[in-house]
Amino acid sequence: MITIDTKTTVKDLSDDELKGRVIYAPCSGCSPDEEVPQEVVRATVHEKGPDERGVPRLVANVLARCESCGTVNPARLVFYRPKKVKVTISRYEESECKEVELDPWEELEVGDELEVEGERVEVTNIATYDEDSVKRALVRDIQSVWAVSLDIPARIGVSINLPSGYTISEKVEVDRDEEFTVGEVYELDGMLFRVHAIKPDGRPTVRREGESVKAEEIKRIYGKPVRRGTPKKSLESI
């Protein structure tokens, strides 16, 4: 019996769904070495254990009639169910482990967004069975994923350098899409300050006046106090 790995993902599959489908497989009557189109005339679907990467499978034993010579040939078709992947979701200093079902033949990449039990998250790291940290991989090869929640405010640091040499350092929470701009005046707990630098996560510090960075990308904002000005936004430390 010929085994055909379809590399197709299905939630479920019935015997009747396969009847009438055309598959390509060798024919014992006219083409033993090359695949030819054959129509499925009978199918029996049953569960099969997961493969070596933990992907659950369905197997269909079918009889298919060759479209060229009419010979009926047996074949085994392998289908795949969605794979459950462990996702560790970070929310500030806390984290929680959940699972999400994904297509095993889908490619997942750092930076991709997923929905895990109704929560939007961004993938920050991928571990496969062979490596602890990769930028992208097929879901089939993934052992676990780390992600950060996108449904909570961005938490960023704010450092204000005082003339005395003392530095006020606080954390604030703002909307993730909020933009902060070098050269703009803001207010923190009643103190006015002008931004002179912004440190994004994973790239060089931004110092050019007028350049903006989204809050979700910011690790820390650096500023200096000013006596007057209209703040673009008022912030409160947490």
Domains and their CATH numbers in the chain: 2-80 (no CATH), 83-149 (no CATH), 154-231 (3.10.20)
Interval 56-66 mean pLDDT? 97
Instruction: Return the pLDDT at 51.
Output: 92
Q: By three-state DSSP, how is residue 11 classified?
A: coil
**pLDDT-derived band of residue 202, with 50, 70 and 90 as boundaries?**
confident
pLDDT, tens digit, for every residue of 69-83?
999 999 999 999 999
Q: By three-state DSSP, how is residue 139 classified?
A: helix
Distance between CA atoms of residues 142 and 19, nearest Å? 34
Instruction: Return the pLDDT at 1.
Output: 86
Interval 151-172 mean pLDDT? 96
* Average pLDDT over the chain, rounded to an integer: 96
Distance between CA atoms of residues 150 and 215, nearest Å? 12
pLDDT, tens digit, for every residue of 106-158?
999 999 999 999 999 999 999 999 999 999 999 999 999 999 999 999 999 99
pLDDT, tens digit, for every residue of 15-51?
999 999 999 999 999 999 999 999 999 999 999 999 9
Instruction: Return the pLDDT at 61.
Output: 97
Amino acid letter, residue 186: Y
Higher pLDDT, 74 or 1: 74
Amino acid letter, residue 5: D
Instruction: Return the pLDDT at 137.
Output: 98
Q: Percent of the chain having pLDDT more than 70?
A: 100
Instruction: Return the pLDDT at 118.
Output: 94
Residue 229's closest CA among 183, 186, 167, 199?
186
Distance between CA atoms of residues 68 and 30, nearest Å? 8
CA-to-CA separations, 157 to 26, 218, 219, in angstroms, rounded? 65, 8, 6
Distance between CA atoms of residues 4 and 59, nearest Å? 10
Distance between CA atoms of residues 158 and 156, nearest Å? 7
Please compute, for residue 95, the number of CA atoms within 13 A of its CA located in the half-sphere on the CB side: 10
Task: Say how far residue 183 (Cα) sits from the centre of its chain.
Answer: 35
Amino acid letter, residue 222: Y
Q: What is the pTM of this model?
A: 0.79
